[in-house]
Amino acid sequence: MIGTALLLVYGASSVGSLYQELAEQRGQKSAEQDFFGDVDLYETINRRMAGGEGYYEAALAEHRAHDYPARPFVTVRLPTLAWTNQLWGASGWRILAPALLGAIIFSFIGALSGLTLAVERAGAALLLAAAGMGVFYDRAGFMHELVAGLLLSLSLGLYRPHRWWPSLLAAGAALAVRELALPFILLWAAFAASQRRWAELAALAGLFLLFAAGMALHAWNVAEMRLPGDAATPGWAGMLGLPYLLTSIGQLTLLLALPPALAGPLALLPILGWIALGGRLGFFASLWFIGFGMAVALFARPNNFYWVLLLLPAYMAGLALVPRAVADLVAAITHPGKGTA
């Protein structure tokens, strides 16, 4: 815990100014461009589908029309979210997305019971609600990362060793929406294998096989509709680092209302709370948040900031656990030999 705290202090000492610089650069670019964005792309694809076109026909045509890459196949989103919009539309998502947020809050109150104080659970609930405000965006149903993040947060909150299948269903739904949820599944499989939970591991392996088959079919459909001149992605090797990750978290949560020099360090603190929680929930959450956060810091391009939505709203609930982390740290400093053999 002491080592973790020192690393966080070191990171926070330089994050504020770098965070502010990145935030200003991103705001300047947004102000300079009246651009056709990703949500516009997905909304337009859905309008074409409503007119009778198939998903891949509409998606590749719109990618081509607006110079979006179609190579490799993962640059074209999975059709799952588009199909849901054909079933219940954006208006349905305006009901379902807030309902998912409510389910997340209640699931975490249950998951934290017995591990935390009532005041910590209340704080976590408020932070989850605040970090999940994106569900009230009228086009939330076109944002793959937002929906996948809600489902992964729900999976994290629903998991119980004696009743893990609801968590698996939520994680599987997230994977069907956005393939970036795969590391969550792989981490879960590693936990199940290490604990010799064979039925759980078999179910996760089955989910992975379904995912692999779905991705193969997706790749084939994209290739069928792709033309020789379609654009290719510039790749994912941004190497933008920790300030970029924290800027992205800040700009997609209510931290946006704070001065950048304060929002940056605050965006870093939740991980300390999750580490302090301990147990299966704290350990799994910490590894997931750190691992995916590192992936964002290393691979995301400047316009991939929305990837951090896969961590939300669950990540920010860690702020409610920071006081216990501070208490543990103080105890470790003032009573260094306590609890040791």
DSSP 87-135: HHHHHHHHHHHHHHHHHHHHHHHHHHTTTS-HHHHHHHHHHHHHHTGGG
What DSSP character marks residue 244? Answer: H
pLDDT of residue 335: 80
pLDDT of residue 301: 95
Q: What is the pLDDT of residues 160-186, one digit of tens each?
A: 999 999 999 999 999 999 999 999 999
| φ, ψ of residue 156 in degrees (nearest 5) | -60, -40
pLDDT of residue 100: 98
Ranges in the chain, pLDDT < 70: 1-34, 337-341
Question: Scanning the structure block, which residue is given the tokens 């992975």?
Answer: 208
Terminal C-alpha separation, the chain = 18
Q: Which segments of 250-324 are extended strands (E)? A: none
**Exposed/middle/buried for residue 216 (C-beta within 10 Å: 0-12, 13-18, 19+):** exposed
Distance CA 108, CA 129 (A): 11
Distance CA 248, CA 243 (A): 8
Distance CA 294, CA 11 (A): 14
pLDDT of residue 264: 85
Identify the three-state secondary structure at position 307: helix
State the CB neighbour count (10 A cutoff) for residue 294: 12
Contacts of 229 (CB under 8 A, 6+ apart): none
Q: What is the pLDDT of residues 284-296, one digit of tens each?
A: 999 999 999 999 9
The structure's pTM equals 0.90
